[in-house]
Amino acid sequence: MRNDSEKPETLHGVGIRTVGAYLPEREVKNTDLEDVLLTRDDWIRENIGVEVRRMAAEDEWTSDLGAHALRDACARAGIDPAEVDLVVCGTYTPDNMAPPTAMLIIEKAGATGATGFDVNSGACPGGVFALDVGARYIASGAYRRVAVVMADVSTRTLDWKDVGPAVIFGDGAACYLLERCAPGTGIGTTLLRSDPSGYRTVWVPRQKRKRRDGTPRTSGFGDNFAQLDGAAVRSFAVGRVPDFVRELLAAAGHSTSDIDLFALHQANLHIVHGILEELGVPRDRTVTNVERYGNTSGASVPLVLREALDLGRLSPGDLVVLAAFGSGLSMGATVVRWCGPEDFAATAGTAGGVR
């Protein structure tokens, strides 16, 4: 089917060597929003599952968050950022319309000499869509080390009088560091799917808004404001994502019982639990962080992986499903055979003519 992809057999795989992360220092609790949004802490917990979210400082933008995440990934891998060959930035909140935010991330992270470009795959789905883009550059042999940086300052798109999106989103960044790995390991079958009929379910349109006194109301991106239909998003996620994951597993020759960890987009705690319930998967086979970070858009799936690693929930050889979904409406999912150091060592020195 168009837009579905399965990695062809090659002499090497594409593995996630490390996952970098960065969360802004500022925490915004539900109680901090009660006066601003005329909502309640208990309502947000009961309906969304968020208790606290992170918000970028006034002088922090997407490139700042992304550079922190890239440096963190490199530190975990024991390499210098200058050893990264390509930076793909997945974002819907670029610092500027042009040039790409990836170029600022390269500059700020010290990834000297890297090539960079942005991928806007609709915010939340980017956790898989942008990963697939980066993986293809490794698979093709064009680059030996690719950083896929997922970063957004979603809170800058908010109208603080619109409760729906304002109680959900938080700011954050994560970085997949991709390298060649042993055949049969790493990123496997990947499916991507879009349904334009849901285009206006979750979106950031240009829309002029005014305060009661008639003066313009703007977001951090001017006349661009995040909007969502919460009921429609839940219906889409719980109603369609489980079958999409089953389709992925069938294509990969697996069943839900084979999967050690489900890394799901953190749209809403109850949506995550609803998807697992529909799949017949116990909650102990996932990790959630939406309670503490909010919905961090495209960074949420790699942030789940990072937390799973830190908690000792991921080991070499484990099978992991990554599933991201949201605006578009779009879905992306992939199966990963998690790599250990020996899987990357097995391909050392085979980069050929790449950088």
Both tokens assigned to 102: 């990836």
Q: Which residues contact 173 (CB under 8 A, 6 or more apart)?
A: 21, 22, 23, 62, 65, 66, 68, 69, 149, 150, 151, 152, 299
Known catalytic residue: 295?
yes
- Identify the active-site residue in 30, 265, 289, 339: 265
- Identify the active-site residue in 12, 30, 68, 124: 124
Contact 152, 92 (CB under 8 A): yes
Known catalytic residue: 339?
no
Cα separation values, 170 from 29, 52, 266, Å: 11, 9, 11
- Identify the active-site residue in 68, 74, 295, 339: 295
Known catalytic residue: 270?
no
**Per DSSP, what are the bridge partners of residue 27?**
54
Nearest 5°: the CA angle 273, 337, 20 is: 75
Q: Where are the alpha helices (DSSP H) in the chain?
A: 30-37, 41-47, 62-77, 101-109, 126-139, 163-166, 230-252, 269-279, 290-293, 300-310, 341-345
Left if phi > 0, otherwise alpha if psi is -120 to 50, otherwise beta: which for 236?
A: alpha
Query: Which positions are annotated as active-site residues?
Result: 124, 265, 295
